[in-house]
Amino acid sequence: MRKSGVQLKMQRANTLVRLSPALNNCLTRNSIFYKAPICASLLLQSRSTGSHGPPAHWKTLKQISLETKSHMDFLPVPEGSWQESYSKKQKKANLLLAASALAFGLTYYIVYKSGCIYLHGYDYKTFKTSAGLSGPGVVASFSSEAASKKECDTSKTSPPAPAQADSGESNVSPGGNPQVDDLSKIPDIPDHVQYLIIGAGTAAFGAFRAIKSRDPRAKILVVGDEDSVPYMRPPLSKELWFNDDKEEVESLQFKQWNGKKRSIFYEPKEFFAEPKQLNSLENGGIALLMGKKVVKLDAGKKTAWLASGEKIKYEKCLIATGGKPRNLPVLAKAAPEVKSRTVLFRNIEDFKKLDSLTQQSESVAIIGGGFLGSELACALGKRAKKTGLKVYQIFPEKGNMGRILPDYLSKWTTRKVEREGAIVMPNQSVCAATFTDGKVVLNTDKGQCVAVDVVVAAVGLEPNVELARASNLEIDPTNGGFLVNAELEARRDLWVAGDAACFFDMKLGRRRVEHHDHAVVSGRLAGENMTGAAKPYWHQSMFWSDLGPDVGYEAIGIVDSSLPTVAVFAKATEKDNPKAVVEETGESLRSETEQNCDTTPASEKASPYLETEDFGKGIVFYLNDKKTVVGILLWNTFNKMTVARQVLRDGARNEDLYEVAKLFDIYDTQAEAAEESAAS
């Protein structure tokens, strides 16, 4: 087909250019790539056609053509299949490609394996296992790669130049373990944390537990200035003194109300992660930095500074700095001998100090009639019965817990405390403290004096608000403490809980509470709000105290003896009514109150009766000037806090409190009935 096509084409060309067939021939031949000199000779010949005949030696065109083989017969003749030759060529090329690809691959592999290639990029695998470190981790993973590059270099250049090896190896620890290497690069104190808690007491505990419950992968750093893991303080003035097992006391273990043994530490040391590792924990954790103090905050830049100079940036921060015990000015400026024998009771150290001091001494004076003073008086009173230790309790109020309990109950409690072995000296305050004859002599403003070996000052708590002053945070002028809103927030992403927080209670107004349960409740609330709950303070905290085996009480709300109170006590037996007792016929109590309001002589008559009466168990309601219940005291009445909480919330403004008291089921008749029905 192809052959005949070419011939056809040639014929047509010849017919078209008949006049100069040679030229045509030349052109045609040229078009199929034949030699140019033939054409030149043709042109010469045509130029000489005008003369008288050619010389004899001249050859004809045909002869020349035949001689030079520029003739149609000499045209190359294609043969074989195009496809065949094409695939032959392809095969060759493919083989070449394959071979070179193989050669390249092999070369690359060898070079790569030998570690001579250094890619400028993150090795993400190393990046992850060196554990999500932001800055230092990257540096570390780079350094390990740099090290491998170095190795490659040294293997090529022998001997290795010492100067060259130096710069690369300075980043690599002699052990060469990248994991160890990474850790050594992280600062001991992280420079950035998700949750920062300042203080490591009960409020901090409540907060971190709440945070971790709501944000399972939370990374929390707790910074506390004490050298111990978070612990609960109540047993220090209560159960620990009544534990007879010395070893258990040594390890700070006590028996709970239900008889179970437990440690005062909320969690063992192992519970907490190392601060250094905190940011590398995949599933988060709680790290504890002990013996460190935060001295300044920048709430705007969300930065905290430690006393040791480190800077920590935080996302959310809680201040739970608690308070420190107050001291009496008389003791603060007393002689050093007096000071060294004075214990300001607050932490584990103080407990151990007082415990050991009172074991060696003959007498101890407790100054203060509040919770701590009265509890310690009972605790040491028990020791007094065994060892002959003399225990004095001195305070300006009329009776123990005089600021909390109504007069009659306070006085009654004093008698109970005395029965526990303490010598109570009410209505007087210490006005001088001197050191004479190896004893501390305390003089009171009533002219009495006691000489003791040890003095315990239990005169209240001062909230730790130095941080507020250093950080331009607001302090409540009347109650003290950091001023926070109902959600315990001081500034954006900054909360305060526990003793140090003066918060807005939507029900009872602005207040500051120094009790264990408040630390738990407010700490938990702050923790919830730090994880976005935005809850106000609503669940009222409670508090409790135990004074010897006969007195135990729990309370909620504002329990202040300066408020009017209405109490309902259980009367075990129906004896004849004493003289001073006024019959009440179940009518409204309030009218009764108003009538008796200004009859002071009647109250004086009543007192002798009350002093002989036994306040076994009962309920005391505290009222404000609007006759709303703002506080409830449950005297030796337990498991009724939920009822109290609801009554407090209601306020019981128009209720007969005697009727309200019925709700508390002081005699536990409901519980008994339930038990009976369960038994039958």
Partner 1 sequence: MAAILVNTSGKDQVIFATKEDLGEPSSAIINLEEDEEDHQPGLILPNGDINWECPCLGGMASGPCGFEFREAFSCFHYSKAEPKGSDCYEAFLTMQDCMSHFPALYPPAKASPDDLSNPPQDGLGLVEIQGEMDSNAIQPERDSGSSRVES
Of positions 7, 60, 114, 213, contacts partner 1 by CB under 8 A: 213
* Alpha carbon distance 492, 476 (integer Å): 18
CA 224 to chain centroid? 12
Identified binder of partner 1 from the candidate list 650, 671, 674, 675, rule CB under 8 A: 650
Q: Counting contacts by CB under 8 A, is residue 596 touching partner 1?
A: yes
Q: How far is the CB of 105 from partner 1 (least distance, A)?
A: 39
For the segment 630-649, give every residue that binds partner 1 (CB under 8 A).
638-643, 645-647, 649
554 binds partner 1 (CB under 8 A): yes
Minimal distance, residue 529 CB to partner 1, in Å: 13
Check binding of 538 to partner 1 (CB under 8 A).
yes
Note whether 541 binds partner 1 by CB under 8 A: yes
Is the Cβ of residue 327 or residue 565 nearer to partner 1 in the bound state? 565
> Interface with partner 1 includes 675 (CB under 8 A)?
no
List the one residue out of 534, 540, 470, 471 whose CA is nearest residue 511: 540
State how far the Cα of 563 lies from the Cα of 273, in Å rounded to an integer: 48
228 vs 361 by CB, closer to partner 1: 228
Is residue 203 near partner 1 by the rule CB under 8 A? no
* 251 belongs to the binding site for partner 1 (CB under 8 A): no
CB atoms near residue 271 (< 10 Å): 13
Q: How far apart are CA 218 and CA 288, in angstroms?
A: 14
- The rounded distance, in Å, linking the Cα atoms of 560 and 406 is 8
State which amino acid sits at residue 378: C
- To the nearest whole angstrom, how small is the minimum distance from the Cβ of residue 514 to partner 1? 14
Which CB atom, from 288 or from 430, has the smaller least distance to partner 1?
Answer: 288
Which span sits near partner 1 by CB under 8 A: 49-57, 267-275, 288-296, 372-380? 267-275
CA 462 to chain centre: 25
Nearer to partner 1, 35 or 217 (CB): 217
Determine the Cα–Cα distance for residues 300 and 40; give it in Å rounded to an integer: 97
Q: Per CB under 8 A, does 283 bind partner 1?
A: yes
| DSSP assignment string, 586-655 | SS-HHHHHHHHTT-HHHHHHHHHHHHHS---SEEEEEE-TTS-EEEEEEES--S-HHHHHHHHHH--TTS
Question: CA-to-CA distance for 622 and 567, rounded, in angstroms?
Answer: 9
Residue 666 sits in the site that holds partner 1 (CB under 8 A): yes
For partner 1, which stretch binds (CB under 8 A), given 38-46, 334-342, 469-477, 600-608? 600-608
Provide the minimum distance between the beta carbon of 658 and partner 1 in the complex, in angstroms, as a whole number. 6
User: Of residues 318, 521, 526, 632, which one binds partner 1 by CB under 8 A?
Assistant: 521
Q: Which is nearer to partner 1, 408 or 482 (CB)?
A: 408
x/- track of binding to partner 1 for residues 66-95 (CB under 8 A): ------------------------------
Q: Closest distance between partner 1 and the C-beta of residue 395, in Å?
A: 20
- If one asks whether residue 671 binds partner 1 (CB under 8 A), the answer comes out as no
Q: Are 241 and 379 in contact (CB under 8 A)?
A: yes
CA angle 278, 279, 284 (to 5 degrees): 70
Give the x-and-dash track for 119-138 against partner 1 (CB under 8 A). Answer: --------------------
- Applying CB under 8 A, among 26, 197, 278, 286 the residue interacting with partner 1 is 286
Q: Which amino acid is at 63?
A: Q
CB of 546 to partner 1, least distance (A): 9
Respond yes or no on whether the N-terminal peptide bond of residue 564 is cis (omega within 30° of 0): no
Alpha-helical segments (H) within 79-199: 82-113, 124-129, 135-156, 162-169, 178-185
The reply on whether position 520 binds partner 1 by CB under 8 A is yes
Which are the contacts of 247, defined by CB distance < 8 A and separation ≥ 6?
none
Burial 155-192 (b: 16+ CB within 10 A, else e): eeeeeeeeeeeeebeebbeeeeebeebbbebbeebbeb
Residue 486 found at the interface with partner 1 (CB under 8 A)? no
217 contributes a contact to partner 1 by CB under 8 A: yes
Q: What is the DSSP string of 328-397?
A: -HHHHTS-HHHHHTEEE--SHHHHHHHHHHHHH-SEEEEE--SHHHHHHHHHHHHHHHHH--EEEEE-SS
Residue of the chain from 8, 485, 599, 675 that contacts partner 1 (CB under 8 A): 599
Which residues from 560-589 bind partner 1, rule CB under 8 A? 564-571, 574, 577, 580-586, 589
Minimal CA–CA distance to 381: which of 398, 400, 366?
366
Which tokens go with 430? 């210490």
By CB under 8 A, name the one of 371, 544, 553, 635 that touches partner 1: 544
663 binds partner 1 (CB under 8 A): yes
CB 510, min distance to partner 1, A? 20
In angstroms, what is the minimal distance from the CB of 277 to partner 1?
11
Tell me how far, at minimum, the Cβ of 606 lies from partner 1, in Å. Answer: 5
Smallest gap from Cβ 314 to partner 1, in A, equals 19
* CA-closest candidate to residue 230, choices 465, 428, 485, 519: 519
Question: Is residue 602 a contact residue for partner 1 (CB under 8 A)?
Answer: yes
**456 sits in which H/E element:** strand 454-457
**Interaction between residue 49 and partner 1 (CB under 8 A):** no
The total of other beta-carbon atoms located within 10 Å of residue 565's CB is: 20
Query: Given candidates 606, 630, 632, 633, which one binds partner 1 under the rule CB under 8 A?
Result: 606
Residues 398-427 that bind partner 1 (CB under 8 A): 406-408
Among 37, 261, 667, 671, binds partner 1 (CB under 8 A): 667
Task: For residue 627, state whether it binds partner 1 (rule: CB under 8 A).
Answer: no
Q: How far is the CB of 382 from partner 1 (least distance, A)?
A: 20
